[in-house]
Amino acid sequence: MFTGLTLGQGEISRRLPKGPEFDLGLSADFDWRPSLEPGESIAVSGVCLTVTSISGPRGFTAFASAETLKHTTLGRARRVNLERALALGDRLGGHLVSGHVDGPGTVRSIEKAAASLRYRFGAGRELMPLIVPKGSIAIDGVSLTVNEVDENSFTVNLIPHTARITTLGLLAPGDAVNLETDLIGKYVQRLMNFQGQERPAEGLTLELLARNGF
């Protein structure tokens, strides 16, 4: 589990094919403190991977399966955002991020908004019901708040600090990103799909959520 508050950027410097899959060689722009250990989970631009080996104070390798490559940008990305797994007792400054990408998004536009930047991203129709105004979303592993939502796109604001320390500041219209929608919203949607005839005519209610443990 992650928070979407990245430690910094890194680079995918090597892709060693293993059939349809890859061993990825990565290096961080910073020293890991404490050092990474083989077997730990790490989010690479929002994708949860397992560290398989360590190379110096900054380098490591991780395996990317065919399923991961199919649904994320890791097959072609170079610059990436890096975050270690959340430890019990750590501050949860972003939101709960699993590192399991739901699908791709595309940068539609980037505009100045005072000192910040306003990004509009397009997303697939299957993801849009899970993206809500003032809700949370992870974009390339970065926890952000959704501003506006329409049928096939949504907007977020990036403060200068976020644009500077993450790869989101390098994006341009047409670029692809990894999207992970809010974890709680996915469970609520799954629950609603199974309600069948028990679902009240008015839709989701506080009583229904309470009855099912939310």
| 94-106 confidence digits (pLDDT tens) | 899 999 999 999 9
CATH topology of domain 103-188: Elongation Factor Tu (Ef-tu); domain 3 (2.40.30)
Grouping H, G, I as helix, E, B as strand and the rest as coil, residue 209 is helix
- Beta-bridged to residue 21, according to DSSP, are 18
Looking at the domain that runs over 8-84, which CATH code has it been given?
A: 2.40.30.20
- Say if CB 84 and CB 14 are below 8 A apart: no
Return the domain boundaries, the chain: 8-84, 103-188
Grouping H, G, I as helix, E, B as strand and the rest as coil, residue 3 is coil
Q: What is the pLDDT of residues 33-90, one digit of tens each?
A: 899 999 999 999 999 999 999 998 999 999 999 999 999 999 999 999 999 999 888 8
**CA-based nearest residue to 179, from 4, 62, 7, 1:** 4
User: Does 160 sit behind a cis peptide bond, omega within 30 degrees of 0 on the bond before it?
Assistant: no
pLDDT at 93: 87
User: Does 103-188 match 8-84 at the fold level?
Assistant: yes
